[in-house]
Structure 1
């Protein structure tokens, strides 16, 4: 009986090892970020003798080697000449305790986890802090900031992204072509009728498509892990990575759809469609779970298409939560060994999702809320001192009085140097949710607690996720900056300007010397947002160090409704008492790197322990061989490791955070007296057109002419690298990107580096 079980297990391992295929990832600038070396200004001898520099170099080299080996395996696996080598690898590692599952996981999922582990060490040991560097003597052309495709269905695509897309597409074509040739050769040798050979060819092609789709699935979840250590390593913010998730989602679902259609066509021609669809096999692929997974994926795919997503956003959002069903039934369909192909990326997403869940449970106090003359709402939120962010960060916010499920992203409008215990956001009233928020704030301002001491004070209960954003402050690396905003898109640029002014005041490293702000608004009253920036109070002598020019365009008015310089009253300023001093949690986003590393290591080790215990005390003793059931057990181990092992670390992390906050309160005195400056209701007089810039102008009745503006900048600023950052509607981004592309392609002495800061869903 033991010999029979051993023989059966060997056959299963052979079948799985032949079925499991290579995986690939979208060629994003990971390698570029992993191997990118910063300019070292130390003496070469000192550099060679420095242990820290050697450790930094060793970590980068290790991550690079793992990444290159990983990608090479993806491309080599479809090759017939390499098939024998991979078979030997699977059989050699398949004799270990974890069997073929461990072999496949170690080959295809472990590398991404190892890179993530090394990235934890790298960012913890060498945090990215901005240091002013010597200006290079040559202009720098960057693939990441050169837009190539602009008005196509993919939006604005940089040269680096286009190269990655070409390599990713080439891999899929190469893999499918190689497998098609192999299938044709093997089937042509069979003595079967031509019709049966055609059926078999279609069925095997469908199997190969499913394997290629599974390989892509492992990378589908990496871009939407908002606080992912991998995104921080390559300095790609989540708002940019979201479009990679969208591209990968279309590719994955297209491949899986073709995979399912191949089987449907064959089964229909053979007259056994219904019988096969409802079939749930013990060993091998279970078709019914695959059908459920595919239908769930198709529902998410259809509701995510732009016409549906933009018109019925809540439908898109809620159906996208079905990803759990999609993943679980996929594991039931293919079993644990084949599912482990995509397990690495999914596991990293689960780690991030659990942290986000824990962070969002905490109630965050609103220090103050103000309604500006243009109707925009400013919220000032409490945060701990150890929570770091940069001026281009954004947060997700939920207001329980409005909805328990809706989360909305907003750019941070304050500088990290502005206040250690708070950050602010600007919210433009554009829809039902933002309209209700402004209405609640208005009611709160009309019923102050001192006038109604025996009534409950109106409150707004908020939860926050983030902050997220760039790991580095790249806007500080340009001596010349052009900030182009449309409407509320000025919010992150107010944070940038504040950050620059605070750095100038405190004599911190700050490269920007010339800043041009181009801002297009619909109404003149929208210009009151500039009142959020009081440059002279921040740095009275900023004119000596910074040439700031602001060009505003009022597109829907031919003349000013209010006279320039007329004071406008902030109509609705309300304060919310800090009853418990609850501030934002630092579990995700730019949280503590040490605790993040412990959380990751603990969960990963816990995952291995759970798999080992399951194998030793259940699968082997009870002779569990059903593929679908082992796939379910694999998913349970993933979830249990995150909740149990990772959850224990989160509890300790939260306890440590509370101790740090308590110590800070004790050292700084009573928190209530310290926060009085934010909690007292007040009304301010703000100028609608403050004198901020060295040269300011306001144009009425037309939009900015970027060709004329860029011509003027090129003539005045001469040969220079100019960073262009855009935040606004899609048409605005496309116009600026087209101008940057045209000027860089003609070989001008001035290079415009295009950067986009817009979050679209």
Structure 2
């Protein structure tokens, strides 16, 4: 009885602790933003900076000391707090907290040209960020224009030429502000995004917004300086590599890499030439390297925290992707769609709508494609499934390989992820309306399966569900059979779920009279070296990530201190003028990479040993099942027949409407439940139409969420 009381009290205490952690993180972040606001002012340069330099500008860290104290340490500390926050969140039960109706206006969707579907909160934050950039630019201009007259006399040039030079440098400095924030949204295993209720997929648009603004400023910076050199007869400056000041050649190389990356990211070009977009995006590596060599490590340290967290995430992804995973089977559907079923360890847990990146080396060694995970880690603890529709060159090649009459016994596959939301809030709703177009139904499959688990195992009340899938032709209806898991899942009652499906076929007037094709299951024979999909850092991944961030940064500081004390200081004497900028920047980048590689590799290898024990047990189980199947000639056929559960056999209501599109406005506004979650997944136009309906004054009970992946 005492243990039960202690357990319940700890669960009550967890939300309070998480609230305190979140509050502390917000306070630190606001303090960090305040430093950005104060930095261009005279107050900072004439007062604050003097005190900070006196406290931190030691022989160990030099000019980097105050910058790391102001900008690097606070963000890394927030990331560590985020890891603790999310680790505690894993101990909580599914979220039953009702929505706060007072905050309804902040999450109400709106359509903004050029931005797509945004909420008032997102629009406000974007406006504040642009305002910060404008303030940063304007106050630096004011600060340096005061010195322009004396500088023009010293350089023997006209005042307007000096001012043009100052405008050029301030434009680049403001671009660095944008670059500081551009890596946070693309850090897939970020602890900062989920702490704010964001996912990697939903944050890609922030990366696009900030990236466009950064490249616009950097391009203007380069153009203004070329113009300045032409007007002052200093065009030879373009060929200068300043070893003790700004290196112009390094900046030009960085800008060219950035422009190639930026141009190929244009939406129409990206969709038509996806491989070109994918490969040019790797230019971010030389872009950052030459950016650091261009401005020097002192000023580049300002953008270090976001890139530091991204490097940790990128290296962990690299380690995970080295292993081949166990692809057990594939199901080929009549609508040119395949379901891949991977073996996974029960310790791998993820939430509905999570995404996994898949690489098939026989098709392309470089291409990684994101797909929504359709299985539930709770309902299917040893299986991870993704559904892939044949819609591009890569997916067409994969479909041809899997669906061939004589497929290979083994398909070599590597994965990264899964990545997804830290929590789900579906139980907050009285009803869920899931609207999809084409392959957009795949995120909803994982939601349905998770609700089946909650209803059957946890005995919790689940919302009513209305699914409105929109397909071009009736062959796509076979995807609906994937909504329910296979019939071998024990102790699962599908009948309790209140599920209604209203399917719409837009290009056919009725069901074809010819016999429809049946799904075909292909069984693979994984190699002994293939591993089940497992958590990269084990079940306590957030704690391990916190350890990697903190320990790697401590190692970096120790190594940096030794380097500065015994190599830089004897030459430079803290003047920041004598020791080579190129050598100092290169050494700093090397130390950062070394610290991350050592700590992340250690954590990965430790957890890999733990995962290997679980993987061996799964492999033995699968081999035992395979040996039984070989002794029974009818085993394969029986398994194909039992692979999926027909929705009709479970008594679920399915209505198919031919040659028409759904009247979404009528359907949504007729829903009378007081708290309705509306999820839209599919084409952009369809999602915007649903968002517009949910934003109307007559839809106060509708809470919109868009599921998309801008890739």
Equivalence for 1:525: 475
Matched-pair contact (CA < 8 Å) for 2:363–2:398: yes
Equivalence for 1:158: 119
Distance in 1, Cα, partners of 2:537 & 2:387? 22
Paired residue for 1:516, among 441, 466, 476?
Answer: 466
Paired residue for 1:59, among 5, 9, 21?
Answer: 21
Q: TM-score, normalised by structure 1?
A: 0.84
Alpha-carbon displacement from aligned partner over 1:334-375 (angstroms, at most 9, x marks no partner): 111111011111111100000000000010011111101222
Distance in 2, Cα, partners of 1:279 & 1:678? 71
Equivalence for 1:250: 212
CA-CA distance at 1:540 after TM superposition = 7.7
Distance in 2, Cα, partners of 1:536 & 1:366? 17
- Of 261-270 and 226-235, deviating more is 226-235
Distance in 1, Cα, partners of 2:350 & 2:12? 29
| Residue 222 of structure 1 pairs with residue 146 of structure 2 | no
CA-CA distance at 1:479 after TM superposition = 2.0
Paired residue for 1:316, among 277, 297, 301?
Answer: 277
Correspondence 1:84-483 to 2 at 5 A: 84-96=46-58, 97-127=60-90, 129-131=92-94, 133=96, 135=98, 139=101, 141-142=103-104, 145-150=107-112, 152-187=113-148, 192=153, 196-273=158-235, 275-443=236-404, 446=406, 458-483=409-434
Alpha-carbon displacement from aligned partner over 1:49-99 (angstroms, at most 9, x marks no partner): 986566434422321221111111112223334432332134213432212
Equivalence for 1:704: 662
Distance in 2, Cα, partners of 1:254 & 1:473? 37
Number of aligned positions between the proteins = 689
CA-CA distance at 1:599 after TM superposition = 2.2
Paired residue for 1:635, among 568, 589, 608?
Answer: 589
Distance in 2, Cα, partners of 1:251 & 1:477? 37
Matched-pair contact (CA < 8 Å) for 2:537–2:544: no
Equivalence for 1:754: 704
Matched-pair contact (CA < 8 Å) for 2:324–2:529: no
CA-CA distance at 1:162 after TM superposition = 0.3
| Residue 611 of structure 1 pairs with residue 560 of structure 2 | yes
Distance in 2, Cα, partners of 1:155 & 1:590? 37
Equivalence for 1:486: 437
Could you say if the C-alpha distance between residues 536 and 361 of structure 1 is closer, same or farther in structure 2, counting changes exceeding 3 Å?
closer
Secondary structure of the residue aligned to 1:223 is helix
Equivalence for 1:652: 606
Distance in 2, Cα, partners of 1:164 & 1:660? 45
Could you say if the C-alpha distance between residues 125 and 695 of structure 1 is closer, same or farther in structure 2, counting changes exceeding 3 Å?
closer
Alpha-carbon displacement from aligned partner over 1:454-489 (angstroms, at most 9, x marks no partner): xxx532100010001111112232221110111111
Matched-pair contact (CA < 8 Å) for 2:484–2:645: no
Matched-pair contact (CA < 8 Å) for 2:455–2:461: yes
Secondary structure of the residue aligned to 2:458 is coil
Paired residue for 1:684, among 626, 641, 645?
Answer: 641
Secondary structure of the residue aligned to 1:142 is helix
Could you say if the C-alpha distance between residues 144 and 383 of structure 1 is closer, same or farther in structure 2, counting changes exceeding 3 Å?
farther
Paired residue for 2:550, among 596, 601, 625?
Answer: 601
Q: TM-score, normalised by structure 2?
A: 0.90
Could you say if the C-alpha distance between residues 661 and 695 of structure 1 is closer, same or farther in structure 2, counting changes exceeding 3 Å?
closer
Distance in 2, Cα, partners of 1:134 & 1:214? 40
Could you say if the C-alpha distance between residues 574 and 530 of structure 1 is closer, same or farther in structure 2, counting changes exceeding 3 Å?
same
Distance in 1, Cα, partners of 2:166 & 2:396? 55
Equivalence for 1:18: none
Could you say if the C-alpha distance between residues 721 and 704 of structure 1 is closer, same or farther in structure 2, counting changes exceeding 3 Å?
same
Secondary structure of the residue aligned to 1:326 is helix
Paired residue for 1:738, among 689, 692, 695?
Answer: 692
Secondary structure of the residue aligned to 1:404 is coil
Alpha-carbon displacement from aligned partner over 1:718-745 (angstroms, at most 9, x marks no partner): 4x12111111111111111111112xxx
Structure 1 vs Structure 2 CA RMSD: 2.9
Could you say if the C-alpha distance between residues 691 and 458 of structure 1 is closer, same or farther in structure 2, counting changes exceeding 3 Å?
closer
Could you say if the C-alpha distance between residues 51 and 396 of structure 1 is closer, same or farther in structure 2, counting changes exceeding 3 Å?
closer
Distance in 1, Cα, partners of 2:460 & 2:211? 41
Gaps of 5+ in 2: 573-577
Alpha-carbon displacement from aligned partner over 1:491-544 (angstroms, at most 9, x marks no partner): 1212211211222111343442x111111001111101111234896788655x
Matched-pair contact (CA < 8 Å) for 1:124–1:593: yes
CA-CA distance at 1:692 after TM superposition = 5.6
Secondary structure of the residue aligned to 2:410 is coil
Matched-pair contact (CA < 8 Å) for 1:105–1:337: no
Alpha-carbon displacement from aligned partner over 1:645-690 (angstroms, at most 9, x marks no partner): 332232222223224544x559xx7442257799964433878873
CA-CA distance at 1:575 after TM superposition = 3.3
Secondary structure of the residue aligned to 1:340 is helix
Distance in 1, Cα, partners of 2:215 & 2:124? 22
Gaps of 5+ in 1: 1-42, 448-456
- Of 154-163 and 88-97, deviating more is 88-97
Correspondence 1:43-82 to 2 at 5 A: 55-82=17-44
Matched-pair contact (CA < 8 Å) for 2:332–2:339: yes
Distance in 2, Cα, partners of 1:655 & 1:541? 37
Could you say if the C-alpha distance between residues 677 and 441 of structure 1 is closer, same or farther in structure 2, counting changes exceeding 3 Å?
farther
Secondary structure of the residue aligned to 2:520 is coil
Alpha-carbon displacement from aligned partner over 1:571-593 (angstroms, at most 9, x marks no partner): 35333346346111311698722
Matched-pair contact (CA < 8 Å) for 2:682–2:708: yes
Distance in 2, Cα, partners of 1:424 & 1:77? 50
- Of 673-682 and 212-221, deviating more is 673-682
Matched-pair contact (CA < 8 Å) for 2:441–2:469: yes
Alpha-carbon displacement from aligned partner over 1:418-443 (angstroms, at most 9, x marks no partner): 22111111111112222221222233
Could you say if the C-alpha distance between residues 590 and 711 of structure 1 is closer, same or farther in structure 2, counting changes exceeding 3 Å?
farther
Distance in 1, Cα, partners of 2:660 & 2:480? 20
Matched-pair contact (CA < 8 Å) for 2:244–2:580: yes
Secondary structure of the residue aligned to 2:158 is helix
Paired residue for 1:584, among 529, 533, 538?
Answer: 533
